[in-house]
């Protein structure tokens, strides 16, 4: 085996320039895979974690459906040929009946961590001359803590103040900024859909990092919002936190059948984003594989040129007793050596790129907000990059190695006479 490795290394070093180019190609491919995977998956994991934890794993609510032909179907059945113009949406009762029963029932289920009631509604918030539309969410802080991680995103930790002071609110950070509110303690005017005007005090800010939520969300005491919207003892949502987030979809179906209401899992709520993330991952992998394929062709070229130029040397090796399998190993080792060195250099380069990207500080504003790149720096990307490089190197060198082992010494010596 030592002699095989020695000869393989000797043949490889005779073509230093080509070997260096192929090694750098492998290194660039591995580094690109590590860096791009770290950035793309870091963003995706951050978004999913924020969105899932804030918006609940399962949301039980009234399903919004509208069938403009419902009147004709009620009279004539399914076989209708007429059309209804100007049909008004069906008047749905936006409340969950008997919600306290579901609270007690699902609290006892070991598959769930917590469940909390919500009453949601829209309003206009005024501060001075500025006004903004807002989504009001009435909560009970004690239950909300078990069903979500809202405490993690309350800047000054004053969630319980909406219990002790029912005329207080917690406002989204960007909504407060748009209104010109920079610190807690300011009083705002809230205009309800029915035209009622209420004066409330901002006691804290909600800062999740998700732009759409921080620009619209306002937390308020559940009893206070029930009074403002004139919906006494009513809720229109139940949010549920489950132990295994991957089971949210199946549990949502079970809850929907049990309650008769629409249960939406986080997978369904963010299905559009999840599809976009899959497309991004496919594009990333295709680009990296293209780079690795190019580097594999470099390895293939080195091996083929070596086989063509070293036919006589291969014939001599076979004549003195080297078998076909040993000749194959000799050339495969050359490709694997290029892949190994390139993979190690690529892992080092990928790590340095991660460190550099993590040091960059800038304001990222879009679907999420961050002060730089959000990176996923798990070791799995280094392991996968290394494996990909070695697999490509093996397949790139296998055919030339097989060609070398099929050479017949007699034919080579006869042609050289």
Are residues 143 and 114 in contact, defined by beta-carbon separation less than 8 angstroms? yes
What digits encode the pLDDT tens for the residues 181-200? 999 999 999 999 989 999 99
Q: How far apart are CA 197 and CA 218, in angstroms?
A: 16
Q: How far apart are CA 33 and CA 39, in angstroms?
A: 10
* Per-residue pLDDT, 413: 47
Q: How far apart are CA 187 and CA 202, in angstroms?
A: 6
Q: How far apart are CA 332 and CA 309, in angstroms?
A: 17
Q: How far apart are CA 155 and CA 141, in angstroms?
A: 15
CA max distance for the chain: 106
Mean pLDDT of 175-186: 94
**Beta strands 364-365; 369-370: pairing state:** antiparallel
Task: Name the 3-class secondary structure at 112.
Answer: strand
User: Of 146, 106, 120, which Cα lies nearest the Cα of 234?
Assistant: 120
Q: How far apart are CA 351 and CA 9, in angstroms?
A: 28
Contacts with 185 (C-beta within 8 Å, 6 or more apart), sequence order: 201, 202, 203
Average pLDDT, the chain: 81
**Beta strands 364-365; 58-61: pairing state:** unpaired
Instruction: Give residue 236's pLDDT band: very low, low, confident or very high (50, 70, 90).
Output: very high
Task: Name the 3-class secondary structure at 78.
Answer: coil
How far does CA 181 lie from the centroid of its chain? 33
pTM above 0.85, yes or no: no
> Tokens 């580094």, residue?
31
* Per-residue pLDDT, 185: 94
* Per-residue pLDDT, 417: 45
* Per-residue pLDDT, 47: 76
Task: Look at residue 347 and tell me whether its pLDDT is greater than 90.
Answer: yes
Distance (Å) of CA 218 to CA 61, 83, 337: 19, 42, 60
What digits encode the pLDDT tens for the residues 250-293? 999 999 999 999 999 988 887 887 788 888 788 877 877 787 78
What digits encode the pLDDT tens for the residues 98-115? 999 999 999 989 999 999
**Cα torsion angle, 222, 226, 232, 236, sign:** negative
User: Of 413, 407, 389, 415, which Cα lies nearest the Cα of 304?
Assistant: 407
Q: What element of type H or E holds 274? A: helix 271-309
Q: How far apart are CA 291 and CA 307, in angstroms?
A: 25
Contacts with 200 (C-beta within 8 Å, 6 or more apart), sequence order: 167, 168, 169, 187, 188, 189, 190, 220
Task: Name the 3-class secondary structure at 370.
Answer: strand
Strand spans (E) along 106-196: 112-127, 130-139, 168-172, 187-191
- What secondary structure does DSSP assign to 15-46, as a single string? THHHHHHHHHHHHHHHHHHHHHHHHHHHHHHH
Start-to-end CA span in the chain (Å): 32
What digits encode the pLDDT tens for the residues 124-163? 999 999 999 999 999 999 999 999 888 888 999 999 999 9
Parse the chain into domains and list their residue ranges.
2-52+273-416, 93-260
Distance (Å) of CA 119 to CA 137, 226, 227, 235, 393: 6, 7, 11, 5, 59
Task: Look at residue 54 and tell me whether its pLDDT is greater than 50.
Answer: yes
| Lookup: tokens for 365 | 């504003």
Task: Look at residue 119 and tell me whether its pLDDT is greater than 90.
Answer: yes
Q: How far apart are CA 331 and CA 317, in angstroms?
A: 13
User: Of 41, 38, 40, 32, which Cα lies nearest the Cα of 388?
Assistant: 32
Task: Name the 3-class secondary structure at 105.
Answer: helix
Q: How far apart are CA 356 and CA 13, in angstroms?
A: 33
How far does CA 393 lie from the centroid of its chain? 31
61 strand-pairing partners: 237, 262
């Amino acid at each position: 085996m030592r002699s095989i490795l020695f000869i393989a290394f000797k043949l490889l070093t005779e073509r230093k320039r080509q070997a260096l180019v192929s090694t750098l190609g492998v290194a660039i491919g591995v580094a690109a895979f590590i860096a791009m995977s770290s950035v793309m998956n870091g963003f995706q994991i951050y978004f999913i974690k924020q969105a899932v934890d804030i918006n609940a794993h399962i949301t039980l609510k009234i399903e919004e459906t509208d069938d403009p032909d419902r009147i004709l179907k009620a009279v004539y059945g399914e076989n209708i040929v007429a059309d209804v113009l100007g049909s008004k949406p069906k008047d749905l009762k936006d409340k969950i009946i008997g919600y306290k029963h579901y609270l007690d029932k699902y609290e006892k289920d070991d598959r769930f961590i917590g469940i909390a009631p919500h009453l949601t509604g829209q309003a206009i918030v005024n501060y001075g001359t500025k006004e903004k539309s807002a989504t009001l969410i009435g909560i009970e802080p004690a239950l909300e803590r078990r069903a979500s991680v809202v405490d993690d995103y309350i800047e000054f930790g004053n969630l319980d103040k909406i219990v002790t002071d029912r005329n207080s609110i917690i406002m989204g950070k960007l909504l407060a900024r748009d209104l010109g509110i920079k610190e807690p303690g300011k009083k705002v005017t809230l205009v309800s859909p029915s035209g009622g005007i209420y004066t409330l005090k901002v006691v804290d800010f909600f800062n999740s990092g998700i732009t759409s939520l921080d620009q619209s969300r306002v937390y308020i005491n559940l009893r206070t919002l029930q009074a403002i919207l004139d919906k006494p003892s009513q809720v229109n949502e139940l949010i549920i936190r489950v132990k295994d987030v991957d089971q949210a979809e199946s549990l949502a179906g079970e809850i929907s059948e049990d309650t008769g209401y629409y249960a939406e899992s986080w997978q369904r709520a963010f299905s559009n984003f999840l599809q976009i993330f899959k497309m991004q991952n496919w594009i990333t992998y295709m680009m990296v594989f293209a780079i690795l394929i190019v580097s594999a062709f470099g390895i293939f070229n080195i091996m083929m040129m070596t086989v063509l130029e070293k036919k006589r040397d291969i014939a001599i090796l076979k004549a003195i007793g080297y078998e076909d399998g040993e000749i194959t190993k000799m050339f495969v080792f050359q490709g694997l050596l290029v892949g190994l060195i390139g993979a190690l250099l690529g892992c080092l380069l990928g790590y340095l790129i991660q460190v550099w990207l993590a040091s960059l500080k800038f304001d990222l504003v879009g679907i999420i907000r961050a002060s730089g790149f959000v990176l996923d720096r798990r070791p799995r990307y280094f392991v996968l990059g290394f494996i990909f490089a070695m697999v490509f190197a093996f397949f790139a060198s296998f055919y030339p190695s097989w060609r070398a082992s099929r050479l017949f010494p007699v034919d080579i010596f006869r042609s050289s006479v």
